[in-house]
C-alpha cells in the first residue's frame, strides 16, 4: 500500500477517534443547561468529562498536524477556503476551555452562568460546524485549476452540508446523553437515560438521511456497506438506551460515529477535496501529498508514539471509570 494511502487512512482514524471521544464531550456541554437544574448538578455534569476533555482534544491537534505534514496542499487549501468557519470553531473551543477552568474561580452565580453559557455555546458551535465542514469536503467545493478555493462562505452553507451539521449535532447530543447515563448514578442517571431514549429517534432519522444522500450521490460500494453498518449500530444503540443498558448503548453510538466517519472517507477516496468547478482541479492523495521521504519518517514516528498515546489515554479512562453521584459534589462553592 502506498504511503499516501496509509496516511489518508491514518488521518481518517484520527478524525474517527476525535468524533468518538470529543463527541460525548460536546454532547455533555450542550446538555449542561438542560440536565443541570442547579449549580451543583451542573458541576456534576462537568466533572464527568473534567479529567478527559482536554486529552480528547489532542486527537484534533494531531489530525491537523498530520494533515499539514502528510498532505500540505490539502491543509493549505482547506484552511484558506474554510478560514471563517474554522476560525469560529477555534474561538468556540477556546471559550469552552476557558469556561471549564474559570467558572469556579469566582463565587458568583452570574459569573458561573456566563461561563456555563460559554460551555454550551462552545460545544454547540463545533458540533454543528464540523458536520458542515465534512459535508463540504465530501460534496466538493469550488476549486480552480490552481487548487485555490474560488467560492464564498455562503457557498459552504448548502443544504447537504447543513444536513451534515445537523447530523453531527444530533449524534453528539445522543452520544453525550448516553455517556452521562453511563457515568452518573441516581436521579441524574435516570434523567440522562430517558433523554437518550428520546434523542435516539431524531438522531436515526437525520443520520440516515445524510448517509443515504451521500451514497445516492457517490454510489460507492464500500460507502454503502459502512453506512448500512453505521445505521444498524445506531438502531442498536437506540434499543439499548431504551432498555437502560448504558454500556451497550455507549458502545453502539461510538461505533456509529466511527463507521460514519469511515463511510465519508471511503466515499471521498482517492480525492481529499473534490472540485465542483468546470475546469477545476481536485486535490487527491497523490497531488496533495508530501515527498515519500517525509511520509516515511512520519510513519516511523507514528509507529513509535501512537501506542504510547493510546496506552496513556486508556489508563486515564480506567482511573476515572467510576460513576459519579450528586452526593460526591460538595454543597456550595468548590
Q: What residues pair up with 271 in beta bridges, in sequence order?
A: 284
Q: Give the span between the Cα atoms of 286 and 273, in whole angstroms.
A: 12
- Over pLDDT 70: what percentage of the chain? 99
pLDDT value of position 168: 96
Residue 333 has pLDDT above 60, yes or no: no
Residue 87 has pLDDT above 90, yes or no: yes
Q: Give the span between the Cα atoms of 215 and 70, in whole angstroms.
A: 27
Residues 6+ apart with CB under 8 A from 119: 29, 32, 46, 96, 99, 100, 103
Residue 17 has pLDDT above 70, yes or no: yes
Q: Where exactly are the structural domains of the chain?
A: 3-294+306-328
Contact 115, 99 (CB under 8 A): yes
DSSP state of 38: S
Residue 211 has pLDDT above 70, yes or no: yes
- Over pLDDT 90: what percentage of the chain? 72
Q: What is the fold of 3-294+306-328?
A: Formate dehydrogenase/DMSO reductase fold (1.20.1630)
pLDDT single digits (tens) 104-126: 888 888 999 999 999 999 999 99
Rounded average pLDDT over 265-289: 89
**Which one, of 152, 151, 161, lies nearest residue 131 by Cα?**
161
Q: Give the span between the Cα atoms of 258 and 251, in whole angstroms.
A: 11
pLDDT single digits (tens) 38-65: 889 999 999 999 899 988 999 999 999 9
CA 3 to chain centre: 26
Amino acid at each position: 500500500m502506498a504511503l499516501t494511502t496509509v496516511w489518508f487512512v491514518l488521518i481518517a482514524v484520527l478524525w474517527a477517534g476525535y468524533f468518538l471521544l470529543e463527541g460525548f464531550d460536546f454532547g455533555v456541554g450542550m446538555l449542561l443547561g438542560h440536565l443541570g437544574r442547579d449549580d451543583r448538578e451542573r458541576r456534576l455534569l462537568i466533572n464527568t468529562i473534567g479529567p478527559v476533555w482536554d486529552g480528547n482534544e489532542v486527537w484534533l491537534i494531531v489530525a491537523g498536524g498530520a494533515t499539514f505534514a502528510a498532505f500540505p496542499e490539502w491543509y493549505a487549501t482547506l484552511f484558506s477556503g474554510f478560514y471563517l468557519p474554522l476560525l469560529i470553531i477555534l474561538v468556540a473551543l477556546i471559550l469552552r476551555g476557558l469556561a471549564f477552568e474559570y467558572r469556579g474561580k469566582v463565587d458568583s452565580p452570574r459569573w458561573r452562568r456566563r461561563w456555563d453559557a460559554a460551555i454550551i455555546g462552545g460545544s454547540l458551535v463545533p458540533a454543528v460546524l464540523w458536520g458542515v465542514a465534512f459535508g463540504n469536503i465530501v460534496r466538493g467545493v469550488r476549486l480552480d485549476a490552481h487548487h485555490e478555493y474560488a467560492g464564498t462562505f455562503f457557498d459552504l452553507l448548502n443544504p447537504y452540508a447543513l444536513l451534515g451539521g445537523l447530523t453531527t449535532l444530533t449524534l453528539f447530543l445522543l452520544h453525550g446523553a448516553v455517556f452521562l447515563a453511563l457515568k452518573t448514578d441516581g436521579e441524574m442517571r435516570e434523567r440522562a437515560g430517558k433523554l437518550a431514549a428520546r434523542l435516539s429517534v431524531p438522531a436515526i432519522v437525520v443520520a440516515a438521511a445524510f448517509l443515504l444522500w451521500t451514497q445516492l450521490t457517490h454510489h460507492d460500494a464500500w460507502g454503502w456497506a459502512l453506512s448500512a453498518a453505521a445505521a444498524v449500530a445506531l438502531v442498536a444503540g437506540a434499543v439499548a438506551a431504551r432498555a437502560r443498558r448504558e454500556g451497550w448503548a455507549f458502545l453502539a453510538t461510538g461505533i456509529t460515529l466511527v463507521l460514519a466517519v469511515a463511510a465519508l472517507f471511503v466515499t471521498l477516496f482517492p480525492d481529499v477535496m473534490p472540485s465542483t468547478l468546470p475546469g477545476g482541479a481536485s486535490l487527491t492523495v497523490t497531488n496533495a501529498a508530501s515527498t515519500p521521504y517525509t511520509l516515511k519518517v512520519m510513519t516511523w514516528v507514528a509507529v513509535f508514539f501512537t501506542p504510547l498515546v493510546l496506552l496513556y489515554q486508556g489508563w486515564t479512562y480506567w482511573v476515572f471509570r467510576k460513576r459519579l453521584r450528586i452526593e460526591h459534589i460538595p454543597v456550595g462553592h468548590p
